[in-house]
Amino acid sequence: MSSNSPVPDFEAKLARYADLLVRVGVGLTAGGKVRITAPVEAAPFARLVQRAAYRAGALDARVAYADAHTDLALYEEGSDEAVAFLPPWQAQEREAMVADGYAFIGILGEDPSLLAGVNGDRVARRSKAMAQVFQKVSEASGNFEVSWTVAAIATPAWAHAIFPDLQEADAVARLWDDIFTVTRVDTPDPVGAWQAHLEGLQTRTDRLNQQRFAALHFQGELGTDLTVGLADGHFWQGGAERAKNGVLGVPNFPTDEVFTAPHRDRVDGVVVASKPLSVRGQLVEGIRMRFEAGRAVEVTATRGEETLRQLIATDEGAARLGEVALVPASAPVARTGTLFLNTLFDENAASHIALGRAYPTTVRPDLIGAAESPTSFADLGGNHSLIHVDWMIGSPGMNVDGVREDGSREALMRDGEWVI
């Protein structure tokens, strides 16, 4: 965080932001418990979030810090065995917290180019080891067993990557302005603004759930011509999510997407990325994939192609889709004109798809495991994988149609905007 206040009421906005993550992000109330994770650069803000949690009546609000430079040290100095080593007990604390009903608040702000010079094979090996060790925690999050949210702060390294032509203080101030805008913190009543926004997203998901489309067809000016079959009994979600423990929260700040589960075997055609993807400390640009029967059979990129190939080689499900999401081209993130180099933000500027794991909550719960019909998530077309990586395909020239079982169509988006 910058030592200079970018705007006169900067501290007041920070406090409102922290309060928003606690009250709306994870719906914390008296007696609740929360784990806050943050990069070391975010310590001042993490303290504000912790204070907001205790004001809300938290029984426990503990903070865990991470330093991305320790990862860099491992990659540059550690042996291959050290890179691949991750003790299983490292995940046990978080597994116990899930079982005990803790909410989770994740604060981001890492340098997107920190690992740019690191051997990609080492990053891939470490990423897979982490995914395996933390698989139970990831699945619990995907199933919304507890409430969780992810947000970000402006750090000098991230701000410089986005605005390389600005002085550090100016870059950080610009990034804070964008964050406050897209999270609605700069409105007179952020909580009220979010409640209204979430109602709008709920209306959109309700309409889509009523239609029961069999597939979505994407066509865009960049070369995308992709048909995404939807999982049997798919269920659209967006905005607020109610965890299995009954707590209502908002997983992402910001969020402007409505999303559901593709059918793992029913994706065909060509898709071209509309924005770069920052993943595993690398920047991947110019992504183009061709899918047949759900699997990516041709994969290219103008930059970072090897990273992309390593990603989809993680396991069998990594080359298939686990999410399809619709976002209008006029969403607040897009209106900033900023390429954030951070998926949390960039995915809310454009419609997107995700390689890898699908969320079981995106199919109707009454269809899974019922005594009279013991159907599994996979039976309905849900994809399993250690990874879940969103990348952006929407653009101001993107058209999206909903396709019904009988082949009839309904326009959902034209030129990147909703028409339903």
- pLDDT band at 376, cuts 50/70/90? confident
Q: Per-residue pLDDT averaged across 184-188, rounded?
A: 92
Chain-centre distance of CA 273, in angstroms?
16
Which helix (DSSP H) or strand (DSSP E) does residue 272 occupy? strand 262-272
Parallel, antiparallel, or unpaired for β 399-403 and 282-284?
A: unpaired
Structure tokens at 231: 């999982």
Given a contact cutoff of 8 angstroms between Cβ atoms, the answer to whether 186 and 382 are in contact is no
Residue 180: CA count within 13 A, CB half-sphere: 21
Structure tokens at 117: 């010079």
- pLDDT band at 365, cuts 50/70/90? confident
Parallel, antiparallel, or unpaired for β 215-219 and 148-152?
A: unpaired
- pLDDT band at 29, cuts 50/70/90? very high
State whether residue 202 is helix, strand or coil.
Answer: helix
Cα torsion angle, 407, 408, 410, 416, sign: positive
pLDDT tens, 147-185? 999 999 999 999 999 999 999 999 999 999 999 999 999
- pLDDT band at 369, cuts 50/70/90? low
Structure tokens at 301: 């990129």
Share of the chain above pLDDT 70, in %: 96
pLDDT tens, 300-344? 999 999 999 999 999 999 999 999 999 999 999 999 999 999 989
Q: What is residue 368's predicted lDDT score, i.e. its pLDDT?
A: 67
pLDDT tens, 381-411? 999 999 999 999 999 999 999 999 999 999 9
Q: What is residue 6's predicted lDDT score, i.e. its pLDDT?
A: 42
Place of tokens 């810090």: 65
Given a contact cutoff of 8 angstroms between Cβ atoms, the answer to whether 28 and 103 are in contact is yes
